[in-house]
Structure 1
């Protein structure tokens, strides 16, 4: 699209979409797989795609979908050495790309919307969202606030608890504190504890402790990924239930069908290996076998959690369910979009195929951007 007399005019009948993937995060590889699936779902008759890979060191590289990527690949490749790109501040989607010696810098055709297919720190935590706000370009997903508070499990759980929504008991440890297993057991009431980095997803850094020795090791492992960790109670006879939430272009949120994660006995819980490494590490039940009243209670809690954490666009809300007890576990504002990921699968089960889901997310991003630009910047 180009801008003429303050109006955007579509070029060749297509929207130009930048897809960000990779990232400076331990979830880098999951992002690459998610992005490949997103590209498969974007209608080539409607969208021109600009793939931008972010290296583990944080460099933004203009990528292609030929080698190691594309609509037929299981994941996209982030070029380690290639043309670096950046958005212009207040540029409305204008991007600069490094060239050769003759043309050191050139400008790309502006993009109309950005899809940040990024998981974890420096992508899902509000940092990239802030950069895109400064660039004045529409982007899919939550804004700076919703992204940052949802990413931090400590802050998110306190907001959920203070809003009167049910969640599991937890304590917080910082890197300066020495792990004390007995104190944690006394505070949480269970000898089995789950230790997690406060700012990480895809179960990276998550482990289970049932003794003082295991607890010390689990805390040390979690501190590899963050300077703050949370320790949660173990919920007996727990079922892991997930619900996808999606806003329409007007900002009205709706909840999907429910899904259930059933880890195999080898893993015991939905670990990173169970999700992405070991084939058959967990079974997905869609729809989840729950009673109608419980189903509606969980779907209602999913929307309330989404609103409490100031989420926008999309989020997957995860629950612990034990009998009739429902506990909000966490919200994922940029959930996995791999071919086995729950978020798109739940919307497919709810009657919304992935291509239409991407259309909805892009429409929401552009409509929100227009509403934001209408706000006055003068008194």
Structure 2
């Protein structure tokens, strides 16, 4: 990407900010992540610094606290964040629910929720999937029955990321069974300390508590917390999914990850196996170079307020499958050391029950973290609609199959 003098000046400003504001603890949190999520404490500490700078939600409209950045500047910021070792902010609020509130919320909802989302007072989770409604999300059954100025919500949600630390949830509920299954769904904003909500942990293969199952037993939610129109929540959900699937670039982070993996592999003994790994890393770099301009085009249209439609599905497939491929390369590069379970040196996105932090591991830190990255990244082709579903969308909408 060719940078103009203004872009170079912006890059220097970003680097200076990271150098001044990133503490050793925050750098460690960013560099030792085991998934797309930093640990909650580090996430919130870093978001506070970004908010003070005015950079917590750069993709939002300026009038709501965003930045008037070009696509190139967004790419610079994303790349420099990873290079500096800064943790990301949680995507649930700022990158997903925030754009939905901006697009469909009334004046009162925008005034109440958006500032609290920016400053971290509200931390969000997503209530979409249910035990019998995952990829077929429109089959959801959690019901919300009208009772005066409230809905009474009963049902369950599953695979709910960070519900154990969230104080708000954006949720899809069934308010009517009339018509097609996509009809009668309402987009509801639910306060997590409401009576009748129970959060139960789901421990992942990596040992981390990031996911949860949520039970709702006659939970009362004000009708004023409906986003958009009652029974028309599917429209809001589809809009939000464009941001979840294609609202942020994969390439900058993947590119930095490939660079780091190449350096780690170059430090290994010179063997035929290492030479083969270097070829595979070069091939992954080519795939990333192809992905980057596609993402720039999509993000440019999103930033202009245009719908990107099925391009979000294409971006999600290419980005997540390349992410997974890079973790597979790292696992191969780590060799036998990847067989050991050594999460104590990592900074996972959630607590690992019964495990104490450690400064010691067999091999290098990247070798100890490689299997954790690999296990967590298996979810990327499933969340936001499985990649099989995305291929079906493309086949139907673009190829007419």
TM-score bin (small chain): under 0.3
Return the structure number with greater strand share. 1
Give the structure-1-normalised TM-score.
0.26
